C-alpha cells in the first residue's frame, strides 16, 4: 500500500510503524510529531465505515477490503472517528490532509495571538448619530476579529445619572447581539462604566449573509413590445 507522502517539509517514515512527521524548524532543527490518527495498517477494527476521497459514503466494509480499496486508488485509509461503532475511516491523501490540518491550526493560533482589545468611548447622553457612528466602528473591529471595550465616561453632575450609562451599554448589547457576545458585563469604576464584547466565532458567515440580504434586487426587464 502506498504510504502517506508529505509535502516538504513533511514526510513519513515506516509503513507499519507509527509514522513520524519531521517538521523543519529553521536551517538545522527538526521537530518530530506523531499524528493522532491511525492510518492504514495501524487501524485495528475488523470492520469500518468507509467514506471515499470525494466524501461519499461507501458503507461498512471489512478492514482488509477497505485497505484494498484505498490501495487501488493509491491513497491512504485514515481513521477519523475511532469512538464510532464501527470506526469511521476516510480514503484520502494523508500527507496532504495533515499538511492542511497543521496549516489551519497555525493560522488559528496566529489569529488568536493577534486579537486586540479596541476601546470605544461614549458619553451618557450620546446623540443618536454619534451612537450609530461608533456602533459601526465596533462592527468593523469585530469583523477584524478584535474584541471591543465600550466605555462610558461621566463628568461632574453626570455621576448622579449612571443609569443613563447603563442604558447605553444595554442598547449596545442588544444591537450587537447577532455578531458579538458579552465577555465582561457592565462594570462601574469611579467615573467610568465599561463592558467588553468579542465577535462570534462565525461572524464572517453572519456578516456575509447580512451583506447578501442588503443587496438591491435587480430591476425587472421591460417586456418586449408587440409588433
- Cβ–Cβ contacts within 10 Å for residue 64, how many? 10
- In the chain, what percentage of residues exceed pLDDT 90? 54
Predicted local confidence at residue 225, as pLDDT: 56
Number of H-type helices and E-type strands within the chain: 5, 10
Between the two ends of the chain, the Cα-to-Cα distance in Å is 71
What residue spans define the domains of the chain?
A: 21-100, 117-212
Least confident of 46-50, 165-169, 187-191: 187-191
**Residue 123: pLDDT band with limits 50, 70, 90:** very high
Grid cell listed for 187: 462594570
Grid cell listed for 63: 478492514
- Top mean pLDDT of 7-11, 51-55, 108-112 is at 51-55
- Cβ–Cβ contacts within 10 Å for residue 10, how many? 18
Least confident of 41-50, 61-70, 201-210, 214-223: 214-223
**Residue 222: pLDDT band with limits 50, 70, 90:** low
Contact 39, 4 (CB under 8 A): yes
Cα gap 12→23, rounded to integer Å: 10
CATH 3.30.110.10, applies to 117-212: yes
Q: Report pLDDT digits (tens) over 67-103.
A: 999 999 999 999 999 999 999 999 999 888 888 888 8
CATH of domain 21-100: 3.10.20.80
Cα gap 20→31, rounded to integer Å: 10
pLDDT at 19 over 70: no
- 30 versus 165: the higher-pLDDT residue is 165
**Residue 111: pLDDT band with limits 50, 70, 90:** low
> Would 21-100 and 117-212 be classified into the same CATH topology?
no
Biggest CA pair distance of the chain: 81
- 211 versus 129: the higher-pLDDT residue is 129
Contact 118, 196 (CB under 8 A): no
Q: What is the mean pLDDT of the chain?
A: 81
Amino acid at each position: 500500500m502506498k504510504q502517506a507522502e508529505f509535502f516538504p517539509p513533511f514526510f513519513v517514515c515506516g509503513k507499519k510503524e507509527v509514522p513520524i512527521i519531521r517538521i523543519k524548524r529553521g536551517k538545522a532543527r527538526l521537530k518530530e510529531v506523531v499524528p493522532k490518527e491511525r492510518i492504514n495498517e495501524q487501524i485495528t477494527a475488523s470492520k469500518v465505515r468507509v467514506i471515499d476521497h470525494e466524501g461519499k459514503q461507501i458503507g461498512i466494509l471489512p478492514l482488509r477490503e477497505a485497505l484494498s480499496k484505498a490501495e487501488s486508488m493509491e491513497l491512504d485509509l485514515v481513521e477519523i472517528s475511532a469512538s464510532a461503532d464501527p470506526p469511521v475511516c476516510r480514503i484520502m491523501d494523508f500527507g496532504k490532509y495533515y499538511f492542511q490540518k497543521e496549516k489551519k491550526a497555525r493560522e488559528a493560533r496566529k489569529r488568536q495571538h493577534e486579537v486586540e482589545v479596541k476601546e470605544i468611548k461614549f458619553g451618557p447622553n450620546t446623540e443618536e448619530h454619534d451612537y450609530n457612528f461608533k456602533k459601526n466602528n465596533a462592527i468593523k473591529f469585530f469583523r477584524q476579529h478584535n474584541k471591543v471595550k465600550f466605555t462610558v465616561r461621566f463628568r461632574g453632575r453626570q455621576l448622579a445619572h449612571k443609569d443613563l450609562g447603563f442604558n447605553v451599554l444595554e442598547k449596545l448589547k442588544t444591537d450587537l447581539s447577532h455578531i458579538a457576545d458579552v465577555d465582561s458585563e457592565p462594570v462601574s469604576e469611579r467615573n467610568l462604566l465599561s463592558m467588553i464584547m468579542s465577535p462570534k466565532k462565525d461572524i464572517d458567515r453572519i456578516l456575509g449573509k447580512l451583506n447578501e440580504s442588503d443587496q438591491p434586487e435587480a430591476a425587472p426587464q421591460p417586456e418586449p413590445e408587440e409588433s
